[in-house]
């Protein structure tokens, strides 16, 4: 068997791998991703009559998943989900099981799965080109909405038409904007990494 090139083994799979270190780095990044999500969760406003607020959380989910990768991204969002049971880190500084069982609960659970999915795509290079990064974010948000709509239907009990409109349709434009942000930020970050490598 031909030995692998050691330099090839060191190539970063996601942006987090550019940072030196291992376990301590990963722990700090996982906590940092949860804190970023908590911060963007407070960027929130309501669109009546939807009981689900518009927040910056789904942007955080995409960024955390793409930069940390599947495993670390999912762990980061799982940490955020658990932290919200005890700390006011959910949207509008809410906390507790009541939020998880509310109209927003399905979205919160979906964050963990979406971060894993976006991270898995990023590990395959989806975050290095604008179009692929955009599509990765769209996939992540589709997962969030799938979980969110199911949770909203269970929590509120209205018709599927009402659920689809108030849990998805009114959020489409905002979701596309967040995907465009990801499509701009992530490839740009990789360009900076490549330039830094070239100067070494």
In a domain, 34, yes or no: yes
In a domain, 57, yes or no: yes
Q: Is the pLDDT of residue 98 over 80?
A: yes
Averaged pLDDT for residues 180-187: 96
Contact yes or no for 165/180 (Cβ under 8 A):
no
In a domain, 165, yes or no: yes
Q: Is the pLDDT of residue 53 over 60?
A: yes
Averaged pLDDT for residues 20-35: 94
Q: How far apart are CA 160 and CA 120, in angstroms?
A: 31
Q: How far apart are CA 122 and CA 23, in angstroms?
A: 20
In a domain, 196, yes or no: no
The CATH number of whichever domain residue 80 belongs to comes to 1.10.1760.20
> Domain range for residue 93?
21-43+52-190
Q: How far apart are CA 120 and CA 58, in angstroms?
A: 17
pLDDT tens per residue across span 64-80: 999 999 999 999 999 99
The structural domain count of the chain equals: 1
Contact yes or no for 136/66 (Cβ under 8 A):
yes
In a domain, 12, yes or no: no
* Stated pTM of the model: 0.91
């Amino acid at each position: 068997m031909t030995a692998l090139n050691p330099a090839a083994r060191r190539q970063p799979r996601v942006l987090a791998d550019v940072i030196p270190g291992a376990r301590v780095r990963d722990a700090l990044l996982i906590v940092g991703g949860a804190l970023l999500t908590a911060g963007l969760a407070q960027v929130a406003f309501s669109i009546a009559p939807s009981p689900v607020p518009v927040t910056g959380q789904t942007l955080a989910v995409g960024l955390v998943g793409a930069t940390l990768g599947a495993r670390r991204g999912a762990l980061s969002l799982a940490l955020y989900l658990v932290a919200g049971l005890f700390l006011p880190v959910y949207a509008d500084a809410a906390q507790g099981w009541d939020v998880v069982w509310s109209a927003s609960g399905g979205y919160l659970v979906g964050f963990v799965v979406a971060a894993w999915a976006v991270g898995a795509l990023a590990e395959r290079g989806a975050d290095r080109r604008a179009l692929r990064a955009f599509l990765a974010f769209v996939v992540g948000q589709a997962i969030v909405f799938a979980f969110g709509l199911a949770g909203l239907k269970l929590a509120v009990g209205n018709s599927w038409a009402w659920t689809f409109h108030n849990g998805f349709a009114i959020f489409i434009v905002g979701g596309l904007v967040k995907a465009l942000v990801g499509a701009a930020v992530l490839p740009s970050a990789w360009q900076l990494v490549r330039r830094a490598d070239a100067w070494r």
